[in-house]
A and B are shown apart, each in its own frame.
Chain A
Amino acid sequence: MKASDLSLRDLSRPRGRLAPGSAIRQVLTLAAFTWKEGLRRRMVLVGMILTLAFVVLYGLGGYFAFHYQGSLGLDRGLAGARGLIAEAALSILMRQIAAYVMLSMGVFMATILTVTMLVFSASGMISGDAENGTLQTIVTRPLARYHLLLGRYLGFASIFLAYLIVVTGLLVGLTRAFSGFAPPAPVQAIGLIALQGLILLALASVGTTVLPPLATGVLVFMGYGVAFIGGVVGQIGGLLSNHVAQMIGTVVSFLVPSDLLFRGGLHGLAPSIPTELAGIVQAGPFGNASPVSGPMLVYCFGYPVVALTAACWLFSRKDL
């Protein structure tokens, strides 16, 4: 070590105000840092390999289901319905229903995988980094704490959005290739499903400013699970016209609107089914496909904004 290497003031910089746009640059630096972390720590690599396996298996399932549908009994599934609809139309409808059931299961799995990755990677982005001493040297740089939180959120959000969009897009594409079923509103559906990632990540952001990583992970995972069950309760309420059950479903979807978006996404993927047959699909766990109303959509976009604002406020007061 040679102290003379650092000659007097030759690296000194003008000590005026920070350059305009520096906050945006800092936020993007932190978002890029998050991507790099995902790549270097091989989260992205492992995620990609296993997702590839998942998509390939899904494709194989689709291939077998639709190339050997006769032996699967898809065409004979509803003997009683034959009187209602012409043979050919029934055959097409059954293919569509089978394709939709497969697709909704696939999308559900993609969501679960995303939630799992989110829980493992983002739950400690504030509390975990503060505990292990990574955060302190970053926070003492000339950036507001909310820049740090926004940068990290942006980084994780772009990872999970990209993941959900690509995987859901692949599932829709594969389903169409094997079954010929084209969902009515695939782009809208993929958008709503991907929006779940922003909601859950916002929940994680609030959690991690006040809770340790493990508790944040539990909050997000349980929050997601509760929202799902709330959706099922609401679905049962709808089927039985039970207002209390419906109300419970509605309240839960205000607290964590992820399931609402999932069902909204399914609505964009579901084939139009004659009312007489709708019960077949509606009784299943993914049967509550229902559109997201305009006000609820606004709520879902507002949710991450409000949650992040709260997280930034909590973070700004936190002792590190």
Chain B
Amino acid sequence: MTEANAQAALDCRDIRKRFHSTVALQGITLAVPRGSIFGFLGPNGAGKSTLVKILTGLVHPDSGGVTVLGNKPGSRAAQRDIGYLPEHFRFPGWLTATELLGFHGRLLGVPVDTDRLLGLVGLTEAADRRVAELSKGMQQRLGLAQALVGEPELVFLDEPTSALDPLGRIDVRDVLVHLKERGTTVFLNSHLLTEVEKICDRVAVIDRGSVVAMGSMDELLQGPAARIEVGALAPEMVDTAVRALAAAGAGGGSYQSGVLTVPVASRDDLPRVVVTIVGLGIPVYEAGLVRRSLEDAFVQLVREHESGRSEGVA
């Protein structure tokens, strides 16, 4: 492996950015290995898109060091090998799908096999239709094809499936898996945690401009969780239960539609959790162990961070 290949595809050190009085990013440090699919998660307004815009050279960071494929972001050397699908994008409505890809190919200086790219994203029939006539979902597919013009080494996709139906999402997932097989690095911003869970190798969770957790999917989902069916609970009761569980050494519990989910170290913790809950006078209908979903991990990480108790996982 040459030195260039050994480098991380992306390397960010202590990136900070504020827009007027709003702090968007407060010291983001992360590295993305080449050839991986990297999921970047966070609540709305956490700074996900801002980081992608810094990595693609659209936004200038206030401080911090960034390299993209070993180059400065926004430099022609970096831009040559990246593809980008922004979250909010629009293509000129007066271009046809084929013309749009050809236009990007000319800017890149490479011939584009538009038929193949349109076939890849399922838009073969729309090749000669103008962008203005395409549905939002079709435009998002076209946006993905646009990001793949010129076979980039690194692809940034910011919420690439937000306008797609479930079938469209599966299509995009197939494309991403295939990109990974080809050795392409994918940086994926997404709200859709189940999707990220299925395809990402590594994940970072960001909240209010800081990385609150980063690691492989296995590291992040480490440990099982107790799933306790308790029926409807008043919010005060949920607070009481979560505090009591934390006091009993099972912190980070969460409640959603009749189910308390509590991270635990092992199966042996389950009885103690149930006893604690019953001790509060809450009826337990069913109790068992589940593998923590990314959603649980995400909710727990963000809640912990927001209540100022984050310890970080990375």
Contact = CB atoms under 8 A, between A and B. Distances in A.
Contacts of B182: 6, 8-9
Contacts of A319: 19, 53, 58-60
Contacts, number: 117
A84 interface: no
B309 interface: no
Contacts of B140: none
Given A15-B80, A133-B90, A138-B107, 14 more contacts: A2-B120, A6-B182, A18-B80, A26-B106, A41-B94, A132-B90, A136-B56, A137-B86, A137-B89, A140-B58, A142-B76, A142-B108, A143-B76, A317-B60
Contact of A6 (B19, B108, B120): B120
A111 B20 CA distance: 40
Interface string B64-89: 00000000000011011110111011
Contact of B174 (A1, A12, A132): A1
Interface in A143-167: 143-144
Contacts of A136: 53, 56, 58, 84, 86, 89
Contacts of B77: 142
A246 B90 CA distance: 49
13 contacts: A2-B119, A22-B109, A26-B107, A41-B94, A133-B88, A133-B90, A134-B89, A136-B86, A136-B89, A137-B143, A140-B58, A144-B76, A319-B53
Interface of B: 19, 53, 56-60, 76-77, 79-82, 84-86, 88-92, 94-95, 103-104, 106-110, 113, 116-117, 119-122, 143, 146-148, 150-151, 153, 171, 174-175, 177-178, 181-183
A3 interface: yes
A317 B85 CA distance: 22
Contacts of B110: 13
B217 to A, nearest CB: 21
A320 interface: yes
A276 interface: no
Nearest to B61: A319
Nearest to A317: B60
B127 to A, nearest CB: 14
Indicate the member of A1, A13, A29, A40 with the most B CB atoms within 10 Å: A1
A134 B90 contact: yes
B129 to A, nearest CB: 14
Chain A: interface residue count, which band? Answer: 35 or more
Nearest to A17: B77
Contact of A1 (B76, B92, B121, B151): B121
A262 to B, nearest CB: 33
B109 A320 contact: no
A99 to B, nearest CB: 42
Contact of A140 (B82, B109, B116): B82
Nearest to B59: A319
Contacts of A89: none
Contacts of A140: 56-58, 79, 82, 84
Nearest to B172: A1
A243 interface: no
B126 to A, nearest CB: 12
Contacts of A211: none
Sort A-B residue pairs by CB-CB distance and give the 4 closest, nearest first. A3-B178, A40-B94, A1-B122, A142-B79
Contact of B103 (A19, A22, A33, A132): A33
A136 to B, nearest CB: 5
A41 B89 CA distance: 19
A320 B58 CA distance: 5
Contacts of B104: 137, 141
Contacts of A143: 76, 79, 107
Contacts of A1: 119-122, 171, 174-175
Contacts of A133: 86, 88-90
A30 B92 CA distance: 13
